[in-house]
Amino acid sequence: MRDFSVTILGSSAALPYKNRNLTSQLVNYAGQLFLVDCGEGTQIQLMKLKVRFMRIHHVFISHLHGDHFYGLIGLVSTLHLLGRKDDLHIYGPAALEPIVSLQLEASLTSLSYRIIYHLTSGEENELIYEDERITITSFPMVHRIPTTGFLFAEKKYPRHINLETAEKYGVPYTAFNELKAGNDYFLEDGSVIANSLLTDEPVPPRSYAVCSDSLYNEELAYRIPGCNLVYHEATFMSDMAEVAKAKMHSTAAEAALFAKKAGAGKLLIGHFSARYDNLLPLLEEARLVFPETYLAEDGKTYQV
């Protein structure tokens, strides 16, 4: 099975706090790196973790609160200074492009590579990336400014060929792609060998949803069912529920309820307020509702 994991680069909300950096995470799908959000200091975190910058081709920005994107311009500049040639795709709100451009113009910088901007909508689901193996969809969150989450979904694996049976029936290699796609095999005499005899069910496809800053949103939970892993912000604990609501953030218990309603396999909570030095109470609060909850920790990698 292909590697599908997420490395937390920053788990802090609004302000950096001790060993918690500003929001950013790196999704690795079979060696392809997707950066989600890029708070100040993200490039420094990437260096510390020895991530090879040039392998990042896609950057997703959930919304334009500074703790989620003030590190983007520094990363863009560093890629230029390192002599990048490959295109960089940036997905996010429309105002990102002028913000990046204005800063590059101020330093008379003409980038060594091309940035291709893809606008996300804060209003509806959108397929924003697709290749042979995965799709990435943005979906609206409920926050003070237009904000999206991102769903990384593996495509169905091809059916798994049972080599012994295939040999027994004399099926040539050239027919394997048809079998993998689920088609039956026709012998020269016109008789049929059912696909189910020649192949096994593949492993089910996996999915990972990043739910950035948002009010608790039950309706959304129903729209991203059955993810293996959900990341959801948990800025506050329940005793701060009123503050959370006013700031359009979620509590740890709400993140857990979200994961429960969404039928998630596991939940990763992050985006912690700097008011919490010790995060265990947040973890405990969430686990009461959804036992398979884990704390996002800077520098740590979680399998999807």
**Residue 106 to residue 267: CA distance in whole angstroms:** 42
Of 196-215, which residues contact a copy of itself (CB under 8 A)? none
Q: Pick from 31, 85, 107, 242: which binds a copy of itself (CB under 8 A)?
A: 107
**Residue 285 to residue 214: CA distance in whole angstroms:** 18
- Least spacing, CB of residue 240 vs a copy of itself, in Å: 16
Q: Pick from 4, 8, 9, 41: which binds a copy of itself (CB under 8 A)?
A: 41
- Which one, 141 or 161, has the nearer CB to a copy of itself? 141
Show the binding pattern over residues 132-171: x = contacts a copy of itself (CB under 8 A), - = does not: ------------xx--------------------------
Q: Which residue of the set 37, 67, 213, 298 is catalytic?
A: 67
Taking a C-beta distance cutoff of 8 angstroms, is the pair 25, 149 a contact?
A: no
**Residue 246 to residue 258: CA distance in whole angstroms:** 19
Q: Pick from 58, 71, 232, 295: which binds a copy of itself (CB under 8 A)?
A: 71
Which residues pair with residue 6 across a beta bridge?
27, 302
99 in contact with a copy of itself (CB under 8 A): yes
Q: Pick from 1, 49, 102, 192: which binds a copy of itself (CB under 8 A)?
A: 102
**Integer angstrom CA distances of residue 153 from 74, 226, 276:** 29, 11, 33
Q: Pick from 44, 54, 142, 175: which binds a copy of itself (CB under 8 A)?
A: 44
93 in contact with a copy of itself (CB under 8 A): yes
- Least spacing, CB of residue 19 vs a copy of itself, in Å: 11
Q: Pick from 40, 213, 233, 285: which binds a copy of itself (CB under 8 A)?
A: 40
In the residue annotation, 3 being an active-site residue is answered as no
- Which one, 106 or 194, has the nearer CB to a copy of itself? 106
Applying CB under 8 A, the span of 66-74, 191-199, 201-209, 295-303 interacting with a copy of itself comes to: 66-74
Kind of pairing between the strands at 24-29 and 32-38 = antiparallel
- Least spacing, CB of residue 74 vs a copy of itself, in Å: 4
Helix, strand, coil fractions of the chain, as percent rounded to 5: 30, 30, 40
Q: Closest by alpha carbon to 206, among 254, 268, 151?
A: 151
Tokens of 73: 């311009």
Taking a C-beta distance cutoff of 8 angstroms, is the pair 49, 59 a contact?
A: no
Q: What are the backbone angles phi and psi of residue 166, rounded to the nearest 5°?
A: -60, -40
- The structure tokens 């959900």 sit at 230
37 in contact with a copy of itself (CB under 8 A): no
**Residue 213 to residue 232: CA distance in whole angstroms:** 8
For helices 280-289 and 252-261, the axis angle rounded to 10 degrees is 30
Q: What are the backbone angles phi and psi of residue 274, rounded to the nearest 5°?
A: -70, -5
- Least spacing, CB of residue 15 vs a copy of itself, in Å: 6
- Least spacing, CB of residue 36 vs a copy of itself, in Å: 18
- Least spacing, CB of residue 77 vs a copy of itself, in Å: 5
Sign of the alpha-carbon dihedral angle for 35, 3, 137, 270: negative
Which residues are annotated as catalytic?
Answer: 67
Residues that bind a copy of itself (CB under 8 A): 14-16, 21-22, 40-41, 43-44, 47, 64-67, 70-71, 73-74, 77-78, 81-82, 93, 95-96, 98-99, 102-103, 105-109, 144-145
